[in-house]
Structure 1
């Protein structure tokens, strides 16, 4: 089996690519998606758990960026879709949490854990 190099982009590059009509596919689960999500014109929500049954909704001829909260699940989604012949895929590394930290557009309320002065310990509010 040939090794496929997965292309990854950062949130800043993703923001630029969205302006060039790239489609975002958010693979987070239903409850995560409804808490907060990307506030961009073209985003499709297909949870990773439903990816196999819904991959026919992903246009093969479009340039697509897969996203999740941290970039781990979306990376798995890219690997999975590559096996089914999808080629125009990018993974957004560091995910929606980094996107929100940078102040990029989101809908809903994002609770982002940041490394604070005390190292983000649970006793900090």
Structure 2
């Protein structure tokens, strides 16, 4: 039987609030993605998912961390990987940088490649 860990997720709006409360972002996108567009937040580290297996020790275990990527899919895998290594203070940001940009949250770089938010499909959520 597989040991599936539960990954806690937050939306970009909640992420923004948690950053104010001292959370750090772990951006696992590849260097070319980060060079083009990145989050403009006070505490962020970049470790590409392709290097995480070798560099996971750079992720501080004593910090509260939100793992982010472009769409929230790769970061989900990264959280699962880190949890299996004993990390406990991790959250995954749903919908990633794409949704972050659509919400108008601070970035550095070119946002022209991000599609505009079309519809919430009836959701009244603040996310």
Moved over 3 A (4+): none
Question: 1:43 — aligned with what?
Answer: 44
Counterpart CA distance in 1 for 2:89 and 2:117 is 34
1:85-124 deviation per Cα after TM superposition (whole angstroms, max 9, x unaligned): 11110000000000001100000011212366xxxxxxxx
Please give the TM-score of this superposition, normalised by the length of structure 1: 0.89
Larger Rg: 1
Structure 2, unaligned stretches of length 5 or more?
Answer: 119-127
Counterpart CA distance in 2 for 1:83 and 1:104 is 31
Structure-to-structure mapping, 1:103-122, within 5 angstroms = 103-110=104-111, 111-114=113-116
Q: Secondary structure, in 3 states, of the residue corresponding to 2:92?
A: strand
- Of stretches 57-66 and 107-116 in structure 1, the one that deviates more from structure 2 is 107-116
1:3-46 deviation per Cα after TM superposition (whole angstroms, max 9, x unaligned): 32110000000000000110100000000000000000001000
RMSD (CA atoms): 1.2
Q: Secondary structure, in 3 states, of the residue corresponding to 1:3?
A: coil
Counterpart CA distance in 2 for 1:62 and 1:73 is 20
Q: Secondary structure, in 3 states, of the residue corresponding to 1:25?
A: strand
Please give the TM-score of this superposition, normalised by the length of structure 2: 0.87
Question: 2:20 — aligned with what?
Answer: 19
After superposition, the Cα gap between the structure-2 partners of 1:115 and 1:40, relative to the gap in structure 1 and judged at 3 Å, is closer
Q: Secondary structure, in 3 states, of the residue corresponding to 1:61?
A: coil
Question: 2:96 — aligned with what?
Answer: 95
Question: 1:34 — aligned with what?
Answer: 35
State the 1:61 CA deviation: 1.2
Structure 1, unaligned stretches of length 5 or more?
Answer: 117-125
Q: Secondary structure, in 3 states, of the residue corresponding to 1:114?
A: coil
